[in-house]
Chains A and B, each alone.
Chain A
Amino acid sequence: MTSNVSNIIKPTPADRVFRYVALFFLLVVMVLLTYPLIFVINASFTDPLKLYSSPLLLYPKGFNLGSYSIAFANSDIWIGYRNSLIYTFLGTIVNIVMTILGAYPLSRKDFTGRNVLTFFYSFTMFFSGGLIPYYLVVSGLGLVDNIWTMIIPGAVSVYNMIIMRTFFSTNIPTELEEAAKIDGCSNFRLLLSVVLPLSTPILAVLSLYYGVDHWNGYFHAMIFLNDRNRYPLQLFLREILIQNQMSDMLQIATDEKYAQRMMDQLGLKYVVIVVSTLPIFIIYPFLQKFFNKGVLVGALKG
């Protein structure tokens, strides 16, 4: 848009100054946003001893995989990784199926009761019974220390369902649906063989949203899981990154191995951040092209 304008009218010196100032601030902001990421990656490859001597890093100091081998020898991390993969995979499938089931009827104008249903769903976004009654319901269903607690209670998000409904009603031509119905196609067939094949962008984006939520969530697991063998990765990360740190601050050196343990702990922290976030960053360049397709704006109009 800006380039079109500048084709017609030459920018004045004042405009140019404005632009350079804006670009300068953008550069500063970008540095601030990315420095923590770069730092963590660098630190994960650096000997923790060197981190103590000079905590500022712009590039890795040496190339040391010591912290990685400590992390991979840690059985908690493996257990957490396995559990999180299971919860994310199963959970996202359930999420997508449920979201489609909820969203598709709402997108059909000939579906009597859609307004009532929309209200029934969206009301839950604005009012809830709160944590305690929710806890009592979920535990009453036997979903404590049960792997299904990671999948069923969060089976569908109203927000995502509305995004999908809006996508269906703006991107699937009504004529197509009518034609299919005249041919005697049932609603399920219609959904499976006409609507869903035309909806890959939204399915991809919402799978990412749901998947990230499963992978990143800790609170639900913290409340409903006690058995460490069922912990998702995030709960182990919480122990390593936050609880240990808090106790470190209060601890006083008690034995000669203490210093070494502190070193290992420090290196481990950077490594677990890299290792736990890696799967998301591997997937997301593939999905990134969908983000700019106006999916987000479509949601707002809904």
Chain B
Amino acid sequence: MLNRYKSKGAAAQLKRSIVRNTGLYVMSLPVVIYFIIFSYLPMYGVQIAFRNYSLTAGITTSPWVGLEHLKVFYQSYYFGRLIKNTLFLSLYSLLVGIPAPIILALMFQEVRRKKLRSVLQAISYAPNFFSTVVACGMIVMFLAPNTGVIPVLMEALGLNMSTSILTNKDAFRHIYVWSGIWQNVGWSSLIYTAAISGIPTDQYEAAAIEGASHLQQIIHITLPNLAPTITILSILAMGGVMSVGYEKVYLLQNDLNLETSEVISTYVFKTGLLNKKPRYSFSAMVGLFNSVVNLFLLSSVNMLSRRISETSLW
């Protein structure tokens, strides 16, 4: 009874609001339509993962096959390798990528002249504005045998550089992660710098009077104050674990490093779109598997964080 009354009240309120603020609803309309078409329609279309879709049969009329494609994927030779590569690559990125900008932001704090500090910071985030193609192009050039800076340096140090680093499957992960740090660390540190500048100075003054050393102040004041920012950014990063930076991975791939560089997203792209005979339904299933795992990871981490630290996305 009460519920019905409530929902009736909500409907009436909505009606009143629409009359009073018609403009706001008109404004939202194109955006809502946009998301229906480009986000929710594909979600509806994901049912082809459970069908045998072909261009002639259509999305809703092609025959149901249930979880057949998932089974094929699970039993395929690639399954273990893809999961392993995807997780390895993103967890390695997170492991380095979360602390690095915090450390950089703390180091910037040691530069006392504000002008100098902001100039240094601006320089540090310049690599962020390179496109993925340019960044990968630079990686490829810097690592190229004979002409690249890095092999030449390593040879000067007496290392044997007869094989190319780019085609070395063991080097791929390090190349991917550390070039990512090069591109993003400055930009990501901005948010921590802003958070640090929001910490009330009296906390430091009190600590200094108590005789806390500079390092102790960082550990006991700065870091705890950064904790909520760190938590939120880490949760968001966990939500992207399964999607890795596939645009970059794809550019750095070659036939010789696929064993470590093939991730789920690039596999979906190759089997579903690049293939001469695109396996739409199969790749849609692999993609769906990826999305579901992703959502699951995100919500678990979010829930965990809400329990432990009371900071969460929702």
Known: A132-B48, A266-B147. A105 touches B28 (CB 8 A): yes
Does A300 count as interface, using CB distance less than 8 angstroms? yes
B14 contacts A137, C-beta separation under 8 Å: no
Does B241 count as interface, using CB distance less than 8 angstroms? no
Does A251 count as interface, using CB distance less than 8 angstroms? no
Known: A36-B142, A187-B24. A242 touches B107 (CB 8 A): no
Complex Cα distance, B25 from A186, in Å, reads: 13
Tell me which of B146, B147, B217, B284 contacts A130 (CB under 8 A). Answer: B284
Q: Could you list 22 examples of A-B contacts with CB < 8 Å?
A: A1-B196, A4-B201, A25-B107, A30-B120, A32-B182, A102-B27, A105-B27, A112-B16, A117-B28, A126-B239, A128-B291, A129-B39, A132-B284, A133-B41, A138-B38, A187-B21, A216-B134, A218-B132, A218-B247, A219-B247, A245-B137, A249-B164
B17 contacts A111, C-beta separation under 8 Å: yes
- Least CB distance from A197 to B in Å reads 17
A136 contacts B280, C-beta separation under 8 Å: yes
Known: A101-B28, A132-B283. A241 touches B42 (CB 8 A): no
Does B65 count as interface, using CB distance less than 8 angstroms? no
Cβ contacts under 8 Å, B294 to chain A: 126-127
Does B71 count as interface, using CB distance less than 8 angstroms? no
Which residue of chain A has its CB nearest to the CB of B25? A105
Complex Cα distance, B137 from A241, in Å, reads: 5
B34 contacts A98, C-beta separation under 8 Å: yes
Complex Cα distance, B287 from A84, in Å, reads: 30
Does A155 count as interface, using CB distance less than 8 angstroms? yes
Does B223 count as interface, using CB distance less than 8 angstroms? no
Tell me which of A37, A110, A246 contacts B254 (CB under 8 A). Answer: A246
Does A5 count as interface, using CB distance less than 8 angstroms? yes
Known: A127-B43, A135-B273, A187-B24. A8 touches B208 (CB 8 A): yes
A18 contacts B191, C-beta separation under 8 Å: no
A120 contacts B214, C-beta separation under 8 Å: no
Does A225 count as interface, using CB distance less than 8 angstroms? no
Tell me which of B24, B38, B140, B190 contacts A241 (CB under 8 A). Answer: B140
Cβ contacts under 8 Å, A96 to chain B: none
Known contacts A2-B204, A133-B41; can you find 4 more A-B pairs with CB under 8 A? A105-B21, A108-B24, A137-B42, A245-B144
Tell me which of B43, B107, B213 contacts A15 (CB under 8 A). Answer: B213
A297 contacts B198, C-beta separation under 8 Å: yes
The 3 A-B residue pairs with the shortest CB-CB distance in the complex, in nearest-first order = A241-B137, A130-B287, A187-B23
- Least CB distance from B30 to A in Å reads 6
- Least CB distance from A252 to B in Å reads 14
Tell me which of A108, A112, A113, A273 contacts B134 (CB under 8 A). Answer: A273
A216 contacts B131, C-beta separation under 8 Å: yes
Does B152 count as interface, using CB distance less than 8 angstroms? yes
B147 contacts A132, C-beta separation under 8 Å: no
A3 contacts B34, C-beta separation under 8 Å: no
B208 contacts A33, C-beta separation under 8 Å: no
Complex Cα distance, B22 from A185, in Å, reads: 13
B298 contacts A126, C-beta separation under 8 Å: yes
Known: A14-B213, A51-B147, A156-B31. A8 touches B126 (CB 8 A): no
Known: A111-B24, A137-B42, A242-B251. A296 touches B133 (CB 8 A): no
Stretch among A68-76, A166-174, A253-261, A284-292 lining the B interface:
A284-292
Known: A130-B268, A133-B42, A137-B41. A9 touches B208 (CB 8 A): yes
Known: A128-B42, A130-B290. A277 touches B136 (CB 8 A): no
**Residue from A212, A294, A300 whose CB has the most chain B CB atoms within 10 Å:** A300
**Residue from A8, A108, A215, A273 whose CB has the most chain B CB atoms within 10 Å:** A273
- Least CB distance from A261 to B in Å reads 14
**Interface 0/1 of A97-129, CB less than 8 Å to B:** 010011011001011110001001100101111
Complex Cα distance, B182 from A32, in Å, reads: 8
Does A89 count as interface, using CB distance less than 8 angstroms? no
Complex Cα distance, B13 from A281, in Å, reads: 50
Cβ contacts under 8 Å, B27 to chain A: 101-102, 104-105, 187-188, 191
**Interface 0/1 of B35-55, CB less than 8 Å to A:** 101111111111010000000
Cβ contacts under 8 Å, A188 to chain B: 23, 27
Complex Cα distance, B185 from A187, in Å, reads: 41
Complex Cα distance, B201 from A12, in Å, reads: 19
Does B227 count as interface, using CB distance less than 8 angstroms? no
Stretch among B74-82, B83-91, B108-116 lining the A interface:
B108-116
B134 contacts A124, C-beta separation under 8 Å: no
A102 contacts B213, C-beta separation under 8 Å: no
Interface positions of A from 2 to 41, Cβ below 8 Å from B:
2-5, 8-9, 11-12, 14-15, 18-19, 22-23, 25-26, 29-30, 32-34, 36-37, 39-40
